[in-house]
């Protein structure tokens, strides 16, 4: 089982974690101000040191609470800072949906195998550190794919500046996962999205159905599915 690639950014950028930590500091300082060392059975010296420490920490903690609340109210995404945390990465529901959508097109193999060019591969096309005999459960494979989806979303977010609904984002990340972030960021699709033509961006997806200059039926089917999800998300929004 692997953690998502940017778990540190998700954890430290989450407004809820900051609120909880700051709130606990303030609560501890308040609690120590109401009790005595005798009531807690503590050494008086250690009690005094702890009380003084939490009283000092309570000052920046209150600032964090006030500033965090102000930013949370101003940001419907619910984060003090969402830098590095994408729309999919920031939602367990969206991430699970993305894994299900992308996974159906990538195909699942729980036992390590050699791909057509001889590279050891497992799960949904994972190749990093894969060795002969490796075996994973579906849950472990899903977690690997989730980590890759978060990584590809971060790549796409470097060039996709438009705000899009979650269904559209899943479709675009699926496409990016398939064609690569370099090709995605140079595309007319991203340019249209950034210019505000979100429907036009969705309609660009079927053009990406070739490999080696030939139209591939599997790619055509995948692009059609991504286009459908993309447009339905816009309609729902």
Residues annotated as catalytic (active site), given as ranges: 106, 115
List of residues 6+ apart from 148 with CB closer than 8 A: 124, 126, 177
Judge residue 34's burial from the number of C-beta atoms within 10 Å of its C-beta, 0-12 exposed, 13-18 middle, 19 or more buried: exposed
CA-based radius of gyration for the chain = 24
Q: Cα dist. 200→117, 157, 230 in Å?
A: 36, 19, 10
Q: Could you give the CA distance from residue 217 to residue 233 in angstroms, rounded to a whole number?
A: 24
């Amino acid at each position: 089982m692997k953690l998502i690639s940017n778990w540190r950014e998700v954890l430290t950028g989450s407004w809820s974690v900051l609120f909880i930590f700051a709130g606990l500091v303030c609560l501890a300082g308040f609690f120590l101000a109401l009790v005595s060392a005798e009531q807690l059975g503590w050494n008086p010296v250690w009690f005094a040191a702890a009380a003084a420490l939490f009283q000092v920490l309570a000052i920046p903690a209150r600032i964090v609470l006030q500033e965090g609340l102000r930013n949370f109210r101003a940001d419907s995404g619910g984060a003090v800072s969402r830098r590095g945390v994408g729309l999919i990465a920031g939602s367990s529901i969206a991430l699970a949906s993305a894994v299900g959508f992308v996974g159906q097109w990538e195909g699942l193999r729980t036992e390590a195998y050699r791909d057509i060019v001889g590279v050891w591969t497992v799960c949904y096309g994972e190749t990093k550190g894969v060795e002969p005999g490796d075996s994973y459960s579906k849950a472990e494979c899903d977690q690997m794919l989730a980590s890759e989806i978060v990584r590809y979303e971060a790549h796409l977010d470097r060039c996709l500046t438009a705000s899009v609904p979650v269904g559209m984002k899943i479709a675009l990340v699926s496409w990016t996962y398939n064609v690569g972030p370099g090709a995605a960021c140079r595309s007319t699709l991203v340019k249209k999205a950034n210019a505000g033509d979100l429907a036009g961006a969705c309609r660009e997806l079927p053009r990406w159905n070739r490999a080696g200059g030939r139209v591939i039926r599997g790619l055509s089917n995948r692009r059609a599915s991504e286009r459908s999800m993309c447009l339905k998300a816009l309609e729902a929004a």
